[in-house]
Amino acid sequence: MKLYHAPASPYVRKVMVLAHETGLLDSIDVETVSTSPAAPDAAVAKANPVKKIPALVTDDGMALFDSPVICEYLDSQHDGPKMFPAPGEARWRALQLQAAADGLLDAAILIVYEGRIRPEELRFQPWVDAQRSKIDGALAALNTWSEDFGDRIDIGTISAACACGYLDLRFPDIDWRGANRALAAWYERFSARPSMQATKPAG
């Protein structure tokens, strides 16, 4: 399988952490690309009409996106403990957690692009503030839920960890730990996992 990849992408990291946890890493050929709304990568655009990474091309030529779909596909390709629980309460909790973490990342990425792509004179602070409010709301939910995470490893906790790691990478000025102590304590333990250490983005 070919994975279109960028080391700093938190959504790509979700896929890579799951691949580590499920023993699928050796079956994935990683192709590192650089893509942005202002300069989409042509190969990515062939695999994903939305022109975003991660995008996966399976061994039988199927092009899959976005990270939830790619992660669920990978989870169908191994015989170990599943990262997507079977239908029922545990599954809905894991998918709900993934959705909150992805929503945090979606808001964070929009702030990054506002600053990286939009010319300074066109930037709109109320827009940035609105995205920051979404990040804070998602963090509060993750913090509440994290009290029951225990040692759970599934698509939800993987997504939550990648979201926390992204804030450290791109928003070092946000002290998310101060207002979310339960989440911070959980993340301290979870981020020590080999799968997290092996996929830690360079600063």
- Rank residues 122 and 192 by Cβ distance to ligand GSF and give the closer one: 122
**Residue 41 contacts ligand GSF per CB under 6 A:** no
Q: Of these, 1, 5, 9, 195, which contacts ligand GSF (CB under 6 A)?
A: 9
- CB 38, CB 117: distance < 8 Å: yes
φ, ψ (nearest 5 deg) of residue 70: -60, -45
How near is the Cβ of 138 to ligand GSF at its closest, in Å? 14
109: tokens are 């990425």
Q: CA–CA separation, 27 vs 14, rounded Å? A: 16
How near is the Cβ of 137 to ligand GSF at its closest, in Å? 18
How near is the Cβ of 17 to ligand GSF at its closest, in Å? 13
Give the interface segment with ligand GSF, choosing from 7-15, 73-81, 87-95, 182-190 (CB under 6 A): 7-15
Q: CA–CA separation, 120 vs 108, rounded Å? A: 18
Q: Which of residues 46-85 bind ligand GSF (CB under 6 A)?
A: 51-54, 66-67
How near is the Cβ of 18 to ligand GSF at its closest, in Å? 12
How near is the Cβ of 126 to ligand GSF at its closest, in Å? 22
**Residue 37 contacts ligand GSF per CB under 6 A:** yes
How many H-runs (helices) and E-runs (strands) does the chain carry? 8, 4
In DSSP terms, which residues pair with 31 in a beta bridge? 4
Q: How many CA atoms lie within 13 A of 17 on its CB side?
A: 31
Q: CA–CA separation, 18 vs 193, rounded Å? A: 12
Q: Of these, 35, 98, 180, 195, which contacts ligand GSF (CB under 6 A)?
A: 35
How near is the Cβ of 124 to ligand GSF at its closest, in Å? 18
CA dihedral for 11, 112, 100, 43, sign (positive or negative): negative
**Residue 11 contacts ligand GSF per CB under 6 A:** yes
Q: CA–CA separation, 28 vs 47, rounded Å? A: 15
- Rank residues 9 and 22 by Cβ distance to ligand GSF and give the closer one: 9
Residues that bind ligand GSF (CB under 6 A): 9-11, 35-37, 40, 51-54, 66-67, 102, 109
